[in-house]
Amino acid sequence: MKRKLAFLLAASMLLAFALPAVSFAASPGDVPVAGTAGLIGWFVDAAKVLKLRLMVSVANARIDALVRYAQSTPQNDVKWLLRQVDQIVAEVMAYADEIGATVECVYVAYEIDGQLVLIDPLRVVNVPPIGTGNEAA
């Protein structure tokens, strides 16, 4: 008898503690998701802009290395250099268009193999404001 009473008391106490927890649970429609999603969206947009700026920096470093290589070799490799630069620029421009940013090419004259060649390092010009929804999803 004592055991049954102790078990009944423990079960009723457990039920008394668990019952209010259920009443505080929110339904899926009551959870404030918009604020959290907006904050996450802001971080995603900021990450896209940072990725673009990193891509531009890496592209400019690669272009600079290619120009130095072309200047140091005796063979005429201007066509090769221009193809490589166009490929690098195309990758960055495609990503910039994807997120709605503007990247422009500012031409710089280099002397390569006795020729004056215009090479275009990149520069980020216009980035849409972060968190406004102007970026492509």
Evaluate whether residue 9 is within a structural domain. Answer: no
Evaluate whether residue 121 is within a structural domain. Answer: yes
Evaluate whether residue 133 is within a structural domain. Answer: no
User: Is this model's pTM higher than 0.95 or not?
Assistant: no
DSSP 3-state of 128? coil
d(CA 45, CA 107): 29
d(CA 126, CA 137): 18
Closest by Cα among 123, 87, 81 to 104 = 123
Segment 27-53, tens digit of pLDDT: 555 555 555 556 676 777 888 888 988
- The total number of structural domains that make up the chain: 1
> What does the pLDDT average to over 124-133?
63
Evaluate whether residue 29 is within a structural domain. Answer: no
Evaluate whether residue 80 is within a structural domain. Answer: yes
Is the predicted pLDDT of residue 4 greater than 80, yes or no? no
Evaluate whether residue 6 is within a structural domain. Answer: no
> Can you give the residue range of the structural domain that contains 62?
37-126
- Residue 91 φ/ψ region, left for φ over 0, alpha for ψ in the -120 to 50 degree band, beta for the rest: alpha
Evaluate whether residue 4 is within a structural domain. Answer: no
Is the predicted pLDDT of residue 10 greater than 90, yes or no? no
Evaluate whether residue 108 is within a structural domain. Answer: yes
d(CA 63, CA 55): 12
Lowest model confidence (mean pLDDT) among 64-73, 78-87, 116-125: 116-125
